[in-house]
C-alpha cells in the first residue's frame, strides 16, 4: 500500500521510511510562523520553558499583519511584544511595517516555503503553502511555542481525499470559484483532519495565485492541509522567488484515498458563498437580486497580483455604484508597488475605490471595513461566519475578485458578464 504526497513529506520529516494514516509521529520543522495575534500567546508560553531560546533563528517567521499599522493600544502592545522577541532572538524573518504583508502571501513571495517542507503556523490558513508542494498546517499558539523552542511538532498522519481537476476553466473562473464549488460539494467538515490532494490535467490551467487560493481555503472544508503536485509552473515560480534547495514528493500510484472527486473545471460557473457558512454556495445565475453595501477585494485568499489585475480589468473605465464602499487591499508591499507601476491603483481610485496598505484588517472584523447592523458585503476573504466582519446581524457573501468587482459597479451581487 503506497503513500499519498502528504504522507511522504511527513515520513521524510519524521525520518521514517513509511507512515500510515492515523499514525502519531514527531517531525522536524522547516518553518514556524506566527502573527501579531497568535505570537504573543506563544511567546508568553515560552517564558515558562526551561530553555527559552529558539531552535533556529532562520526557520521562524514573525509577521505582524492582522492589526497593522496598529489600530489601537492593545494591538500596539501585541506588536511590541513580537518586535522585542524578534530582536532578543535575532529572528531573521521578522517583517516590520513597511516590509510586511499578509503572512500567507508574503512568505511564498520571500521564498520561505518550498516543496517538501513541513511548516506549522499559528494561523489556520497556514495550509496555503500546499500550493508549492509543502505540507503546511495551522496549529495553536502552544504548539507554535513548542515548535519555536524544539524545531519539532507531533502530528497524526492524515488520510486523504483526491480531487481530480479536469478541463479548462472559462475566462472568469478562478481558484476561488473552484474551491467554493468544492466546499459547497463536500461541506465545511467534509475533509475533517484529512489531506486535500489536487491532481489532474486541469491544474495546468491554474496560475500559482489560483493554487494559493485553493490551498488557502482547504481549512474551510475542515482539511488538515491542501496540496498540489510540483509542475513546471511551480518550478518557474520557485526560480523567481528562492534559491533554497527543495525535494519534490509524488503520491504513489497505489496510494490510498478515502474518497475521490472529479471536478470538471470547464463546467463551473462563478460561485458565491452565502451567509453564514462557506458551504452555502450558489452559482451566479442562482443568486437573484441581492443589494449590497460594501465590497472587499484582498486578504490572504485573494490579495495577490492576479486578483488585483482581474479586479482592475473589470473596474477600468467604470465606477462603483452610488453609495457603495469598495475597499482594495494588496496583500504585500511588493504587490502594492506592482499595482502602482502597472497603473492598477489609478484604476481603482478613479473607479471610486479606496486602497489600503497590506493588512488582514476587515477579514476578521479587525478594522478597515467593519460592517454595521444589517449591512451586506461581498468579500474575497475566506470566512462568512456570523459576526465575522462586524455586527452579528451583518451578512458576508464570499466571491472571486471578478464577482466582487462587478458587484461593486452594480451595487448588487453580479457576475462580470452582466456588465
Tens of pLDDT, residue by residue over 232-257, are 999 999 999 999 999 999 999 999 99
H helices present in 251-399, as ranges: 299-302, 305-315, 333-341, 344-350
Domains 5-263 and 271-418 share a fold: yes
Give the other-Cβ count within 10 Å of 53's Cβ. Answer: 12
Q: What is the DSSP string of 315-330?
A: HTT--PPTT-EEEE--
Phi-psi region of 167 (alpha: psi -120 to 50; beta: other; left: phi over 0): left
H helix or E strand, kind and range, residue 260? strand 259-264
The b/e string for 80-105 (b: 16+ C-beta within 10 A; e otherwise) is: ebbbebbeebebebbbebeebbbbbb
Please give the pLDDT value at position 418: 85
Superfamily (CATH) of domain 271-418: Aconitase, domain 3 (3.30.499.10)
Q: Could you tell me the three cell numbers for 105? A: 502571501
pLDDT attached to residue 1 = 83
Tens digit of pLDDT for each residue in 83-139? 999 999 999 999 999 998 999 999 999 999 999 999 999 999 999 999 999 999 999
Q: Please state which CATH number belongs to domain 5-263.
A: 3.30.499.10
Residue 52 has pLDDT above 80, yes or no: no
Task: Read off the pTM.
Answer: 0.95
- Please check the confidence at residue 50 and state whether its pLDDT lies above 90: no
Find the angle CA(203)-CA(241)-CA(197) to the nearest 5 degrees. Answer: 30
3-state secondary structure of 273: strand
Asked whether the predicted pLDDT for residue 419 surpasses 90, the reply is no
- Average per-residue pLDDT for the chain: 96
* Burial (Cβ within 10 Å: 0-12, 13-18, ≥19) of residue 275: middle
* Model confidence band, residue 204 (pLDDT cutoffs 50, 70, 90): very high
pLDDT value at residue 315: 98
Instruction: Kindly indicate the confidence band of residue 177, based on its pLDDT and cuts at 50, 70 and 90.
Output: very high
Q: Is 77 exposed, middle or buried (0-12, 13-18, 19+ CB in 10 A)?
A: exposed
Domain boundaries, the chain: 5-263, 271-418
Confidence of residue 260 (pLDDT cuts 50, 70, 90): very high
Amino acid at each position: 500500500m503506497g503513500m499519498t504526497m502528504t504522507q511522504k513529506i511527513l515520513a521524510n520529516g519524521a525520518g521514517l521510511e513509511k507512515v500510515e494514516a492515523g499514525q502519531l509521529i514527531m517531525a522536524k520543522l522547516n518553518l514556524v510562523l506566527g502573527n501579531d495575534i497568535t505570537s504573543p500567546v506563544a511567546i508568553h508560553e515560552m517564558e515558562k520553558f526551561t530553555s527559552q531560546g529558539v531552535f533556529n533563528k532562520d526557520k521562524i517567521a514573525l509577521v505582524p499583519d492582522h492589526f497593522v499599522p496598529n489600530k489601537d493600544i492593545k494591538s500596539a502592545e501585541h506588536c511590541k511584544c513580537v518586535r522585542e522577541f524578534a530582536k532578543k532572538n535575532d529572528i531573521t524573518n521578522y517583517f516590520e511595517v513597511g516590509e510586511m504583508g499578509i503572512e500567507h502571501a508574503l512568505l511564498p513571495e520571500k521564498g520561505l516555503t518550498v516543496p517538501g517542507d513541513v511548516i506549522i503556523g499559528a494561523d489556520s490558513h497556514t495550509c496555503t503553502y500546499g500550493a508549492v508542494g509543502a505540507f503546511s498546517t495551522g496549529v495553536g499558539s502552544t504548539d507554535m511555542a513548542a515548535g519555536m523552542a524544539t524545531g519539532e511538532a507531533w502530528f497524526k498522519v492524515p488520510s486523504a481525499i483526491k480531487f481530480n481537476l479536469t478541463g479548462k476553466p472559462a475566462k472568469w473562473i478562478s481558484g476561488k470559484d473552484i474551491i467554493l464549488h468544492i466546499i459547497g460539494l463536500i461541506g465545511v467538515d467534509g475533509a475533517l483532519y484529512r489531506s486535500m490532494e489536487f491532481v489532474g490535467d486541469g491544474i495546468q490551467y491554474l496560475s500559482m495565485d489560483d493554487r494559493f487560493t485553493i490551498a488557502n481555503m482547504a481549512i474551510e472544508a475542515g482539511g488538515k492541509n491542501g496540496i498540489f503536485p510540483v509542475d513546471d509552473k511551480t518550478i518557474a515560480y520557485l526560480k523567481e522567488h528562492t534559491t533554497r534547495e527543495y525535494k519534490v514528493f509524488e503520491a504513489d500510484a497505489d496510494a490510498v484515498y478515502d474518497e475521490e472527486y472529479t471536478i470538471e473545471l470547464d463546467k463551473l460557473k462563478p460561485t458565491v458563498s452565502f451567509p453564514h457558512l462557506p458551504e452555502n454556495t450558489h452559482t451566479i445565475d442562482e443568486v437573484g437580486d441581492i443589494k449590497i453595501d460594501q465590497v472587499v477585494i484582498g486578504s490572504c485568499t485573494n490579495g495577490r497580483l492576479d486578483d488585483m489585475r482581474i479586479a482592475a480589468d473589470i473596474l477600468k473605465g467604470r465606477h462603483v455604484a452610488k453609495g457603495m464602499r469598495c475597499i482594495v487591499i494588496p496583500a504585500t508591499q511588493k504587490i502594492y508597488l506592482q499595482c502602482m507601476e502597472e497603473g492598477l491603483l489609478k484604476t481603482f481610485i478613479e473607479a471610486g475605490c479606496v486602497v489600503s496598505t497590506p493588512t488582514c484588517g476587515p477579514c476578521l472584523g479587525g478594522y478597515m471595513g467593519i460592517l454595521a447592523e444589517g449591512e451586506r458585503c461581498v468579500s474575497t476573504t475566506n470566512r462568512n461566519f456570523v459576526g465575522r466582519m462586524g455586527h452579528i446581524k451583518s451578512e458576508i457573501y464570499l466571491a472571486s475578485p471578478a464577482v466582487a468587482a462587478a458587484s461593486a459597479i452594480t451595487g448588487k451581487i453580479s457576475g462580470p458578464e452582466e456588465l
